[in-house]
Structure 1
Amino acid sequence: MTATFNHTIIAARDRHESARFLKELLELAEAPSWGPFANLLLSGGVLLQFAEPPVEEIQMQHYAFLVDDELFDRAYARLCEQGVEHWADPQMRRPGETNEGHGGRGVYFKDPAGHAMELITRPYL
């Protein structure tokens, strides 16, 4: 069997708020939740599990999602409608913009827990 990515746990101040934010933004399916997790399912069976860690400060992580052009348009409109601060670059020097890197479009923003999120329409490789 080859290795495939199965799941990750994303630290959140409020697991339900963080899961709901990404679910609505990316039109994701809910998955059954259990224990300390609020779960979302990506295509390919990848599970995102949101949980509150037993620490006061959450270390920022980066999560990038490959989406098609139509979902990018809808998600970007939602970011703008909700007043979510966003940038064209990971250094956050181009606020309120998207980029056209790698032959597609991209945008960076933070989720409710402060993680750096990225939407791209073309893979880097």
Structure 2
Amino acid sequence: MPASFDHTIVAARDRHASAAFLRDLIELSDAPSWGPFTNLLLPDGVLLQFAEPPVEEIQPQHYAFLVDEELFDRAHTRLLAQGREHWADPQRTRPGETNTEHGGRGVYFLDPAGHYLELTTRPYL
């Protein structure tokens, strides 16, 4: 069997708030949660486990999600309704915009823990 991606832990100041933000933004499913984890399940079976690490500062990470055009529109509308800053580029030089890179559309924004999230409608490769 070839290797496939199964799960990752996403550090959060408030695991419930971070999980709810992403769940509501891109319409994910809750998954059974246990111990220190609040879990979300991606459609391809990858598990996102939100946890509150015992550290003073959370090291920001980048998480990119491939979505279809309709979900992109709904998620972008939600970002605007929430008044969330967003950018067309990872350098944050194009605030309030989306991009049309790689033959699709994309947007970058921060989650409640400060992770740099990206939505894109086309894979890079």
Moved over 6 A (4+): none
Give the secondary-structure state (helix, strand or coil) at the position aligned to 2:108.
strand
1:112 maps to 112
Displacement of 1:98 in angstroms is 0.1
TM-score (norm 1): 0.99
Name the aligned partner's letter for residue 121 of structure 1.
T
* Distance in 2 between residues matched to 1:113 and 1:17, nearest whole Å: 9
Name the aligned partner's letter for residue 2 of structure 2.
T
* Distance in 1 between residues matched to 2:40 and 2:83, nearest whole Å: 23
TM-score (norm 2): 0.99
2:59 maps to 59
Name the aligned partner's letter for residue 102 of structure 1.
H
* Distance in 2 between residues matched to 1:53 and 1:75, nearest whole Å: 28
Give the secondary-structure state (helix, strand or coil) at the position aligned to 2:40.
strand
* Distance in 2 between residues matched to 1:113 and 1:91, nearest whole Å: 19
Name the aligned partner's letter for residue 100 of structure 1.
T
1:46 maps to 46
Residue pairs, 1:31-110, within 5 angstroms: 31-110=31-110
| Cα deviations by residue, 1:38-66 (Å, 9 ceiling, x for unpaired) | 00000111000000001010000000000
* Distance in 2 between residues matched to 1:84 and 1:36, nearest whole Å: 28
* Distance in 2 between residues matched to 1:112 and 1:51, nearest whole Å: 13
* Distance in 1 between residues matched to 2:6 and 2:76, nearest whole Å: 27
Name the aligned partner's letter for residue 64 of structure 1.
A
Give the secondary-structure state (helix, strand or coil) at the position aligned to 1:45.
coil
| Cα deviations by residue, 1:12-71 (Å, 9 ceiling, x for unpaired) | 000000000000000000000000000000011100000000101000000000000000
Residue pairs, 1:19-38, within 5 angstroms: 19-38=19-38
* Distance in 2 between residues matched to 1:89 and 1:83, nearest whole Å: 18
How many correspondences in the alignment? 125
